[in-house]
Amino acid sequence: MREINFISSEKFNSHEYDEIIDVRSPSEFHEDHLPNAINLPVLSNLEREHIGTIYKQESPFTAKRKGAELVSFNISKHLKNYFSNKEKDYSPLVYCWRGGQRSKSLSIILNSIGWKPTILEGGYKSYRKHIINSLDKILSTGFNLKIISGLTGSGKTKLLKQLSLAGAQVIDLEGLAKHKGSALGDEVNSAQPSQKMFERNIYELLQSFNAGIPIFLESESSRIGNLQVPAKLWNLMKISSLIEIQITHDKRIELLINEYQHLINDPKLLLSKLEKIKHLKPASVFENWINLINQRNVPSFVDSILKDHYDQAYLNSRGNTYLNDPEDSYSLDDISDKSYGYLAKRILSNT
């Protein structure tokens, strides 16, 4: 039986392995994991919690004995159900939280069969540290960021999509965060990722980009829902050049009605979300919103929330955040994808 190899987070190349296996519990995997990893837990969520309780309340020895029993049982199931058709030269990368017993337990068995597992030294913990350090380092190299600005409802996200389709380098922070960045911005069918996963996805994008070519982002606050924009990226955004998009007030209302149909169709959900900003508005303004929603007067409600909340909030945020005035400004009379596609090409021809 050959000796099992270890590799550090700084040196491993995912393309050198047939698979990347995360043996942590499903809840740990869900929070974040290595790119393209699969989850083959050797302890379930409840089992991991149970072993931890035994360790604290009884003894480390008892916990290890019981843990070994559960790990052995779960590995046997994986051997029967998952590994049964693997070829003789199968070579996976295996990791757990710290490169400890869970990853070693599976790797020893795979190695004894004749396969060629490699253990990620230090486990996910070392990989996470590598991501943090690498993200800071790569942001220090000097990317040329272009920030798309404009009042709420200007179609900044639509423009980012068209820029990406036109071949531009784009970081859609709201897309990565699964949140539109406002009190009403929660995604309907998906929860936000963890902060760790959010940062990893940003790092992977930056790593794939050419630093000599502009990268387009939407103007944001430092928080998008429950997630924090990485500090170095946020600081770089604040000193970057702005490209301002202007469309008429009526078109902004139309665009927002189109994008927030799920709230228009569910007035109770809309009212519950508005409670988040109730403390920011005079009682008369908030009561007017409630009346307009109850009357199903959607255009008047959107008109009011733009004039009485979002427009001033956006202008204040931009004035207090971004140090530069817009270097270019573009006006649109149409909010179709085709119109934003033409605008994307104009912007790229001028950068």
* Degrees, nearest 5: CA angle 154-155-159: 130
Distances (CA, A) of 117 to 23, 37, 72: 13, 14, 17
Residue 163 to residue 243: CA distance in whole angstroms: 13
Tokens read off for 266: 């569910």
DSSP 8-state secondary structure symbol assigned to residue 155:
-
How many Å is the maximal CA-CA distance in the chain?
77
From 24, 32, 72, select the one nearest 48 (Cα to Cα). Answer: 24
Residue 156 to residue 148: CA distance in whole angstroms: 6
Q: Which of 23, 96, 183, 270 is catalytic?
A: 96
Contacts of 162 by beta carbon, 8 Å cutoff, 6+ apart: 337, 340, 341, 343, 344
Confirm whether 180 is a catalytic residue: no
10 Å Cβ neighbour count for 151?
18
Q: Which residues are catalytic?
A: 96
